[in-house]
Structure 1
């Protein structure tokens, strides 16, 4: 009951001056991004979050008709600095990333099918590279923010829902250079916007009841 997620201005009408606020645990409300891609051989996903959650939660989930959570960025509960990145059937766990509560932090994940390697960046700190899959991502993509999806029925998982704030969400169909990754991590520094989707012109749907006005609620 009540509002779960909303999009509010934090400045002017440009999307870059807005943020999503995921205000409570839910398995009925989420943000769905509309992605016009059916094949991908590499990817970079970047977003900024602010949260005080200590349990596990999902930040980014990409599904295809044949596979739920084909690509997933997931915060592990065991440690505030442990993350999981899944691509295809491969899973990489990253530790010691210095993730902090109650602070805006940049999180990026890269993957390349040629090598099968993934890498996680938190702010300007890069992880080691780890293998997941060298298979392409294929099919009509569905991207969900702040939730993963249950492989049994494809529905969101309440206990893994993100609670906090999120902004500056981008995706590229290539691996960003280290210099561009560092530029993204520094607010107000120029970097190439995502070519799969970009925050300044994000095509999205908020699933649930929506309020008309400067804020959209569900």
Structure 2
């Protein structure tokens, strides 16, 4: 009998010796959660709980690839996490490559109160549908490439209700959608599918097939100059709500991360911005300066832009 209990007693002693190591490993988060949970608001608790599932990553030079897989049970999609719970104005930009000529979900943001809080879908060729709450608008006859990459940006301002699309360097006229609508609460952001419910309700017929890269989201209406720079692979300030270079995401289904084959086209966006800024500076100082160094610099920039 003593021989039987001897290994068991050794096991208990061994586990007791390991307890300090377990405590040292988990003490940081455990202390924060159990001893300071009263001081945490709901958002911080959600961030604490969700952080292991949304590791940030630099996806520069990478793309999400959504393959065609009719046998897949789990709808291919990518969940994103934005560092906000209130959106009143925004710009979202992404690049996509797809040969399908049907409705596809590009960007879907849902709250627990509204599955179509903010949504951008590509409909039939040349048509794009945007949602802001209960309001919808369809932009038609836009120049979409089916054998090349497309760069699309969507701006929206709740205060004015003005919304606009940019596609491959061209802009639409501004429309009125979702005036005074506020996006608030827990956000579920999905790329590659349309949400018909918070974090779910996916339909295979709405799924995206192709590649997506360079996704950014800002809490402001990005200037036309910066949008053109984004379209032309120029320099721009990355999104402060969603940043492709520091993205929190979770992949579901057969989505994979591949090297992006979107090539840098030109730096004309940077040149155009520099020309505009220098022109504005020259106009503001025209009373105190004659033709000189400022005009010579402008001439050089204009020559570069036209080359």
TM-score (norm 1): 0.85
Matched residue, 1:74: 121
Change (3 A) 1:183 1:149: same
Matched residue, 1:17: 61
Gaps of 5+ in 1: 1-12
* 1:140 and 2:159 aligned: no
Moved over 6 A (4+): none
Deviation at 1:127, TM superposition (A): 0.6
- Number of residue pairs matched by the alignment: 198
Decide which structure has the larger Cα Rg and report it: 2
Change (3 A) 1:202 1:153: closer
Which protein is richer in strand relative to its size?
Answer: 1
Which of 86, 94, 103 aligns to 1:56? It is 103
Change (3 A) 1:207 1:124: same
Q: Secondary structure at the match of 1:68?
A: coil
Which protein is richer in helix relative to its size?
Answer: 2
Deviation at 1:132, TM superposition (A): 1.0
Q: Secondary structure at the match of 2:99?
A: coil
Q: Secondary structure at the match of 1:35?
A: coil
* 1:35 and 2:79 aligned: no
Q: Residues of 2 paired with 1:20 and 1:182: CA distance?
A: 23
| Most deviating of 168-177 and 153-162 | 153-162
Q: Residues of 2 paired with 1:146 and 1:209: CA distance?
A: 12
Gaps of 5+ in 2: 1-56, 259-307
Matched residue, 2:94: 47
Which protein has greater RCO, CA pairs closer than 8 Å, 6+ apart? 1
Aligned 1:79-118 pairs, distance under 5 A = 80-118=125-163
Matched residue, 2:46: none
Matched residue, 2:202: 156
Q: Residues of 2 paired with 1:164 and 1:209: CA distance?
A: 12
Change (3 A) 1:176 1:96: same
Change (3 A) 1:146 1:132: same
